Amino acid sequence: VKDKMKGVVKYAAGPMNVELREVDIPKLGPRDVLIAVRACTVDMTDVDIWRWKPPMGTPITREEAPWMRKAWVKIPVILGAEIAGEVTNVGAQVKRVRIGDRVVVKYGLEPCGECPQCKLGRYDLCEAVVQVGRMTDGGFAEYVKVPEAAAIRFPDNLTFEEAAPTEMVVTAFHSFWMTFMRPGSVVVIMGPGVVGLFATQLAKELGARKVILTGTEGDEKRLELGKKLGADVIVNVTKESLFDIVMNETNDIGADLVMDFTGNPSAINKAFDIVSVRGTIHCTGNPRTGIRGEVTIPWIAINAKEIRITGSKVWRATTDEWLRVLNLMGQGRIKTSPLLGNKYPLEKWQEAFEARESKRELLPIITPEL
């Protein structure tokens, strides 16, 4: 029996320090399952860990970031978080998952069990959820080991490639989940990246009456794709006035919901201008302005317009949300296939990372079998 496998390992802190290595196939605990990875899509966090972009390398202190309870990344670690594969082995106490099941891996594998929220039994509020491909080995490998609870069966009519980026759909879904969006809303989606394009589809699915998708110079192709996926209006903010367009589209009311998937400080600032009175601004993107992500905002707009501000993190999305997303994907109401890129074998992981980083591809796929 084979006991070694190939995996893409971040082996030391600092820029680069990633290579394909031969490592042990993980040993299963009684409640673990072993998954043969069939497809794992590359996300920007993989690229950021490879490049060691801030805040990856920033030391975390309680004073600076009191919400952070663990390091970003455990070193060494096999990268890869958007995983679809086939169960090939199960621990002795595994009951629900069977060998041969086609599963995706829930990104927040399990609550930490030790933080103040976990101690209160509020596991879905855990402050340090274990994230696959960051705090424990991920899917750029032939096999990945996860707790049974994190292996979620996906609908038969989806391919492994289509199912792999479920985490990105859940990221968009959990954003809406936290906003309590009302039907008939005008929604501005900032950023036509992977999550923004899934949010565009979801906004329509959830009953938005108008979706305005924004991007900057260089995003032209992605904006066009957004239009095909349901955006009613696309705006290139480098060339056009977002404020004028939103006001024009809403009879000078502004948008009910403005969602940021860019983390760009100027986009977040602009959100306060274009949101309506008693509207909602939702923050999913991470500003790259240091460990605290400080941005300048027009504070007075919050009280003058009675604005609500919400935030979300995908690792806190529950299994319930994952199942709802997979159901929508299985019904073809949310499509991942228009975003999929090329397939790369493990040996060409760096090409796949570069395709993602350069925006040539939205979702390059690493496929161990190739």
Phi and psi at residue 146, to the nearest 5°: -140, 160
**Please, which residue, 36 or 125, has the CB nearer to Zn ion?**
125
Contact 31, 94 (CB under 8 A): yes
**Please, which residue, 34 or 126, has the CB nearer to Zn ion?**
126
# residues contacting Zn ion (CB under 5 A): 5
Stretch that binds Zn ion, among 113-121, 194-202, 246-254, 263-271 (CB under 5 A): 113-121
Q: How far is the CB of 29 from Zn ion (least distance, A)?
A: 19
Beta bridge mates, 310: 282
Stretch that binds Zn ion, among 111-119, 174-182, 273-281, 333-341 (CB under 5 A): 111-119
Single residue of 118, 197, 317, 365 touching Zn ion by CB under 5 A: 118
Q: How far is the CB of 127 from Zn ion (least distance, A)?
A: 5
Q: Given the structure tokens 């996906």, which residue do they identify?
A: 154
Q: Given the structure tokens 């032939």, which residue do they identify?
A: 142
| C-alpha atoms less than 13 angstroms from C-alpha of 124 in its C-beta half-sphere | 7
CA distances from 302 to 150, 244, 287, 310 (A): 39, 20, 20, 12
When asked if residue 363 is in the footprint of Zn ion (CB under 5 A), the reply is no
Q: How far is the CB of 152 from Zn ion (least distance, A)?
A: 20
**Please, which residue, 33 or 115, has the CB nearer to Zn ion?**
115
Q: How far is the CB of 274 from Zn ion (least distance, A)?
A: 36
Q: Which residues contact 20 (CB under 8 A, 6 or more apart)?
A: 6, 7, 8, 9, 346, 347, 349
Binding to Zn ion, residues 128-157 (CB under 5 A): none
**Please, which residue, 70 or 324, has the CB nearer to Zn ion?**
70
Binding to Zn ion, residues 165-224 (CB under 5 A): none
Q: Sign of the C-alpha dihedral, residues 299, 302, 303, 309? A: negative
Q: How far is the CB of 315 from Zn ion (least distance, A)?
A: 11
Single residue of 25, 84, 104, 126 touching Zn ion by CB under 5 A: 126
Of 267, 317, 258, residue with least CA distance to 297: 267
User: Using CA atoms, how far apart are residues 319 and 202, in angstroms rounded to an integer?
Assistant: 18
Single residue of 7, 111, 165, 191 touching Zn ion by CB under 5 A: 111
Token couple for 199: 């949010």
Q: How far is the CB of 72 from Zn ion (least distance, A)?
A: 16
Q: How far is the CB of 130 from Zn ion (least distance, A)?
A: 9
Stretch that binds Zn ion, among 106-114, 169-177, 196-204, 278-286 (CB under 5 A): 106-114
When asked if residue 115 is in the footprint of Zn ion (CB under 5 A), the reply is yes
Q: Sign of the C-alpha dihedral, residues 80, 86, 91, 95? A: positive
**Please, which residue, 59 or 121, has the CB nearer to Zn ion?**
121
Percentages of the chain per state (helix, strand, coil), in multiples of 5: 30, 25, 45
| Residue numbers at the binding site for Zn ion (CB under 5 A) | 111-112, 115, 118, 126
